[in-house]
Structure 1
Amino acid sequence: MRLLNRSAGRLTRGRRGPLAGLVVLLLGLLMTGGLYSAFAPSQQAAADQATADDELVAQGRELFLVGCAFCHGKNGEGIETSDGQQLGPVLVGVGAAAVDFQVGTGRMPLAAPGQQGPSKKQAYSDEEREALAAYVASLGPGPAIPSEQDWSLDGLTDEEQEEAVVRGGQIFLTNCTACHNFAGSGGAMPEGGYAPNVRETEEQYVYEALLTGPGQMPSFSDGNLSQTEKRDVIAYLNSVDESPDYGGLTLGSLGPVVDGAVTWVVGIGVLVGFAVWIAAHTTRTDRKKKGEVTT
């Protein structure tokens, strides 16, 4: 027992010595540094990312000066004509999402300023579009490009997906049918504009259109329509595309004007033509009979 007490005393005195304290301190510093190196982001990686972002913005600026500055100004400040008309809108603060929508759908660049840019084949590559979006985003804070998880219904049960479609239909019928019609097929707008067929638009661009409000369309920021509500609208549009047409020919689902025009032109036209044919046929028969009697 005495031997054990003496050994314990020696160990205790050794631990309390200055050398032992220094060793413990060094071990603590090594462990802290190792953990920091393992879990903290590398400064070199952050610097490399910043350099890559700067290069992307520089590339986007070069593309912007060639293809966009004529209408939007060298720094996205917009340009007005001598009579006060806006040649190109201000791009400061529109964000990367607006550029991704306009360039991705081919609406920009325009061959010449017009009432409304039509959707067409994309003029830039995906890499160039990304660079343009990065440059415009650097001009001022604005909506970022959304990711697929923002509008995807993956992970929801069938019941939750049906509920999303119902909610999206209510939102669409309340806010969108005045321009895009109840089926999203689009329609005419005042002063030569038109609302496009959103059922033929990719989900990403529908989301970006809701977020940024291109042209005459109002913007629905997350404060107006949440990310979930925008997703529900897209779910409703997808359901319209997938629903069977129980009523026969939909005629593009363009509404009662088209239905009425087809009824008058085709329906009434066929009836009038049939009536003319009956009258002509009856007249020829009567003449033939009269000729036989005379002979």
Structure 2
Amino acid sequence: MLDKTLRNYYAEQIFSKLEQSKSALKQEFSLGNRINTCYLDDLLSTDDVLKIYNAFPEKEDLLQLKDLREHKYVGIQLDKYNSILEEIIYAFQDVRIVKLIAEITGFQELMPDEYLYAGGVSLMEYGCFLNPHLDNSHDKDINNYRVLNLLYYVTPDWQEKYGGNLELWDQHLKQPCRTIHSKFNRLVIMVTNKNSLHSVSPINYHGRRCCVSNYYFSPQPADAQNYYHVTSFRGRPEQNLRDIVLRGDAKLRNIVRKIFKHGIKKPHFYKK
């Protein structure tokens, strides 16, 4: 790699690919009447992505999150894992890439999150899911707004029929969702605001779907008005009872967060 660090090596590939597709991505992201999203395929070389995938830890070495809201495995304390994972995650925080994504999405004053609050790596297998939800509106210190979610999928040969795909509820839960296949070597850029209801479809395949996640923040909200909310889950359209429970859960956790700034649950961020 000609004396280049691995992080910079990844960053240069990502920047180049985004730059080549900048105009098309900008147009796609700005389409109206839907949650602002765009995606880019073949982000890195196939060999590089396979190395990233093979560096993923086994589920036993990750934190399992399992309840009515979600079922997945997450890793945030990256110094416990193969260093490749830390390098690819922080490659997305390269100043050149952050500036370019700001140009693509139209957001100003974008900031990456060195603490990876609710980001990092995630693994989902047979039976895993993520119910419709709004992401937490702020960073861990409630100083800046979470405005963009970057999802990079690295599982080879992952078919759309396996599940584990990103679902975007453009018309909230009143109409069917729009699906983006969690395809190998695909980067998805998605707005996160008070209307960006999204989910991950249940996995029906005995394999592991791996994802690298980053969030970008801004002192300015993604909408015209200020807002605040914790991660708020809903039931799927056919899950009436679960929806009632999850809506109550979200209201309760919002009340708790107003009393305790950081909540009462162990925060999910990288302790360097």
TM-score range, shorter-chain basis? Answer: under 0.3
Structure showing greater radius of gyration is 1
In terms of fraction of residues, the more helix-rich structure is 1
- Per the normalisation by structure 1, the TM-score is 0.25
Higher relative contact order (CA 8 A, sep 6+): 2
- Per the normalisation by structure 2, the TM-score is 0.27
In terms of fraction of residues, the more strand-rich structure is 2
